[in-house]
Amino acid sequence: MTFELADRVQTVPPSGIRRFFEIAEERDDVISLGVGEPDFATPWAARDAAIASLEQGKTSYTANRGKRELREAIADYVADRFELGYDPDEEIIVTAGASEAVDLAFRAFVDPGDTVAIAQPSYISYEPGVIFAGGEVLSVPTKQEDDFRLTVDALEDAGADEADMLVLCYPNNPTGAIMTKADLEPIADFAREHDLMVLSDEIYAELTYDGNEHTSIASLEGMRERTIVFNGFSKAHAMTGLRLGYALGPAEAIGAMNKIHQYTMLSAPTTAQHAALEALESCENDVREMVNQYDRRRQFVLSRFREIGMDVFEAKGAFYCFPEVPEGFTAEEFAEGVLREEGVAVVPGDVFGEGGEGHLRISYATGLDDLRQALARIEAFVDEHA
């Protein structure tokens, strides 16, 4: 028989990165700057706690919303770091990665026909998530001249005042842009004025540089009641493979997400919850040290792009920067060329939606030796072709 695929599945195009995977397979000397996850292993204390929990046979389900102790630790952590107040019983849900939390939110709050505005370029899962939930995507492109911050002008130009929901991701994947409190205020005003619900993916919140501290839009006046915050352990605590994240929001909203979660996931991975609890309790220094390393690499990579003569805005968050390709190239052509000829894997910015054209996502979640080599190869490619 042939499978009749559901329309909403067919509507979503295959991932733009697939083709590059295949080219990368052809060479064995590829250095990848295309990786969206830390190169560090999970801090040992967290791994050790996971191992200990296995030794003690702690392998059953947890409460749907996650272990109570972990929710308490999360509540303390977000209060301490981001001035956010959430009740561990009613307003926090622990999920299998922030990915699950994002999906739960779309399914819990988007009805067929609802419009979801997404500030782009952005992490690639939001669009499919909206479509799977039956919603319509409205792209809100951000620009290099604004350091890829979202502005009210951009929202108005895109017609986001008509939307039902707004998705933000700062610090941003793929650009490395951040939004300060002052940058967020007008966006919050806009959301309140036009009655938009806000989904704020803050998974890179710990990774900010140059003395910038992350501000959560949910901490601004009148925003808590209309915002769901996503965060998790994948990035700051280098725990991608353990699959653990969480969502914060008003009780009613988290309750709705939990309704889906309890039938589709039951509970987030138990072993990972033990690791996460330890991560929050004792791994602050490990996080600081990783941030310190990322910052050096960030400065190194930005300096090298400038030396090479590629325009790059000063990314201040996550572990990405977003240089412009030299004239005469599309992002896709440059990415394919530099992969085929020099064996450096980068992701063309178009993959991340509107506003990404003509740019490359460069991940510096890679050791300095590899970064040095990769940048030398990019330089050789530019010298030869541009």
Ligand X SMILES: Cc1ncc(COP(=O)(O)O)c(C=O)c1O
Chain residues in the site for another protein (CB under 8 A): 17, 20-21, 24, 30, 32, 34-37, 39, 41, 123-125, 173, 296-297, 299-300, 303-304, 345, 347, 368, 372
Q: Are 223 and 179 in contact (CB under 8 A)?
A: no
Minimum Å gap between C-beta 14 and ligand X is 18
Residue 236 DSSP code: T
The residue written with tokens 């042939």 in the block is 2
- Residue among 154 and 203 whose Cβ is closer to ligand X: 203
28: left (phi over 0), alpha (psi -120 to 50) or beta: alpha
| Of 299, 384, 386, 364, residue with least CA distance to 31 | 364
Minimum Å gap between C-beta 137 and ligand X is 16
32 lies in the binding site for ligand X (CB under 6 A): no
Q: Are 20 and 253 in contact (CB under 8 A)?
A: no
173 lies in the binding site for ligand X (CB under 6 A): yes
Say which entry of another protein, ligand X, none residue 98 contacts (CB below 5 to 8 A, set by partner kind).
Answer: ligand X
Give the containing element (helix H, strand E) for 139. strand 136-141
353 lies in the binding site for ligand X (CB under 6 A): no
- Residue among 280 and 382 whose Cβ is closer to ligand X: 280
Give the containing element (helix H, strand E) for 107. helix 97-109
CA distance 305 to 315: 12
- Residue among 32 and 227 whose Cβ is closer to another protein: 32
271 lies in the binding site for ligand X (CB under 6 A): no
Tokens of 150: 């979202």
- Residue among 122 and 219 whose Cβ is closer to another protein: 122
- Residue among 122 and 267 whose Cβ is closer to another protein: 122
Q: In this chain, which of 34, 38, 43, 97 binds ligand X, going by CB under 6 A?
A: 97
Which residues have a Cβ under 8 Å from the Cβ of 365 and sit 6 or more positions away? 35, 36, 37, 38, 39, 294, 319
Minimum Å gap between C-beta 203 and ligand X is 4
245 lies in the binding site for ligand X (CB under 6 A): yes
Q: Are 271 and 59 in contact (CB under 8 A)?
A: yes
Say which entry of another protein, ligand X, none residue 353 contacts (CB below 5 to 8 A, set by partner kind).
Answer: none
Say which entry of ligand X, another protein, none residue 234 contacts (CB below 5 to 8 A, set by partner kind).
Answer: ligand X
Pick out residues in 107-136 that bind ligand X (CB under 6 A): 123
- Residue among 258 and 308 whose Cβ is closer to ligand X: 258
Cβ atoms within 10 Å, residue 243: 19
Cα distances (Å, whole numbers) of residue 195 to 95, 155, 250? 27, 14, 16
Binding site for ligand X (CB under 6 A): 36, 97-99, 123, 169, 173, 201, 203, 232, 234, 240, 245
